[in-house]
Structure 1
């Protein structure tokens, strides 16, 4: 196949990917861009949660008592998270009910020095929750995650074909960096922005596809979870916290600190699936101590090295990846929407031009 024939083929592939997926690419890319700064957004949208009076911590049992007073009688506490700096104490509780993603949960935000309730929120409500649902599954239960994954595959192909079409047909590749390759602003924007965002967008599309199809990529990299050995993540999400554990939270923390001293960061309640307390301490990686609820025996948890799946997720959402990469993926979320709009404009103008040409020939 000649170079011209390849160019025509890739042009058709690139065009129809953009036209068919434009309406889906725009919300996916914009919500992904916003979620890079999810903590800052939460501060702006819910300032009452962060209006703490200080950073001094008190007995965790007092936080639990304050949270119980704000929760419904049927709610069961799942965990308590203590801030490393300025910020609220967060008590998470599980409510009765079933769904694919597990039972609904309620977060109670508390003032660290006083245990005063700052806010109560559901994990199924709020703007950020909607953003996560759109970006992760297009708000389509069951099939949405797979659809997003295949959109990622199409976006990788679009990046490849876009670079092929960007490459100048005459002269060196430097000519492609010119601003005025066309008389129309939208076409110039599409060519230039498409080139600069192609590589970051390919990485984001690949990592997004990886997150959507973890079992496939796990087998490819040799890191697929072994069935039957270990607990299924969905089963863990559906596990119900024990309503009346044998140990109190103070006894569980005391047992953990006797095994491994350190500043407390999070306490997770025992469940009907795994009746043991999990005590997370300050550190990077975070040390973990498990305390058997029946016997009180504490064991130092094994600090697992970061696997490929966790690294892929951090690359995709920018967690602990530095400000530069966070800015790049923020822009990488906005520009696909711009490219989708400019691409549709270019297609519509070309369609109109071909129609006028056909009319003149007739």
Structure 2
């Protein structure tokens, strides 16, 4: 009786596993492949857009010169919002935003400037370029509004698929090591599906879980050690803030006011906005940049806060994308993107080939009635 119940449960898990794979394959494959490529997004972007990563020399001009050069290259409706400096001698990157008519998030544009003379090297919208397209495809399937939620639920179903896959992999008889044999089935596709599915099971479950965590910040935010209910709303409001086109103080004055609190090389400056008339001047520091807040107009500088402990949400994101996790972890994540696509393809082939015998069996039963 127990054996019959076990077989029934296994058959139920098979149906769950099969239909998750079949119905979501068309979505799982692009999400997985783009996630695999984005593990090394900076290196990939450098290959595609080498002019943005060229080592040209240290920034030799006042920040106001780069700001002026970027402003001249702006299009109507755009306003300069930040400058970022590369200690490795790469281009100075200016960021500009343009408000949308619907009142949504402003459209962002990046401009790369030569650090030696502030000449314009390149310009691109925040939504353009292959790497950015892959980010959008991976994070929201390029579906406005509901896309991120859809991706989050795909992560949930992939986690269920991992659990059901482990159950189906587990040998019905014999030791667990018998499940590691290559020729468990009589076809190449089935053996590939069993073996690659087992070896990628735990990394894939982790990627699925962290992907769902990232997609549903309001749901999982309650697990943070120090939850801040208003933090998400504040970030959302800040994302819609408009930089001041003519602040009371210049960018050079803001940097000069912040320099007494410098902890290293200058890394960036953010313009005051219509929500907060404050300059934010960032300096290099171990454990995260030191941000000095300078009041626009009075030029009163505030000492930077000490490095904040990493949040659970940030940890989940690093586990998911491999940032700062080392080459071994990044390779695991890379394979965790490639192999699900392989599992989807082999699973479809296994299902398709099994349809013939099942259909013939159904026809035979029908004729026997």
**1:98 shift after superposition:** 4.2
Q: TM-score, normalised by structure 2?
A: 0.93
Does the 8 Å contact 1:54/1:113 carry over to 2? yes
Counterpart in the other structure of 2:132: 129
Does the 8 Å contact 2:99/2:105 carry over to 1? no
3-state SS in 2 of match to 1:125: coil
* Structure 1 residues not aligned, in runs of 5+: none
**1:360 shift after superposition:** 5.6
Paired residues for 1:227-306 under 5 Å: 227=230, 232-284=234-286, 285-302=288-305, 303-306=307-310
Does the 8 Å contact 2:56/2:91 carry over to 1? no
Structure 2 Cα separation of the partners of residues 276 and 357 of structure 1: 74
Counterpart in the other structure of 1:30: 33
Counterpart in the other structure of 1:21: 24
Paired residues for 1:6-155 under 5 Å: 6-98=9-101, 102-155=105-158
Does the 8 Å contact 2:152/2:212 carry over to 1? yes
| Residue 355 (structure 1) aligned to one of 354, 359, 364 | 359
2:183 is aligned with 1:205: no
1:266-294 Cα deviation digits (max 9, x unpaired): 10001011110111101232111100113
| Residue 316 (structure 2) aligned to one of 308, 312, 317 | 312
3-state SS in 1 of match to 2:200: helix
Structure 2 Cα separation of the partners of residues 260 and 46 of structure 1: 32
**1:233 shift after superposition:** 1.4
Report how many residues are paired.
361
Counterpart in the other structure of 1:337: 341
**Cα distance change on mapping 1:326 and 1:100 into 2, 3 Å:** farther
Structure 1 Cα separation of the partners of residues 226 and 131 of structure 2: 31
Q: TM-score, normalised by structure 1?
A: 0.95
2:177 is aligned with 1:174: yes
Q: Which moved more, 1:270-279 or 1:66-75?
A: 66-75
2:220 is aligned with 1:217: yes
**1:115 shift after superposition:** 1.7
Does the 8 Å contact 1:52/1:111 carry over to 2? no
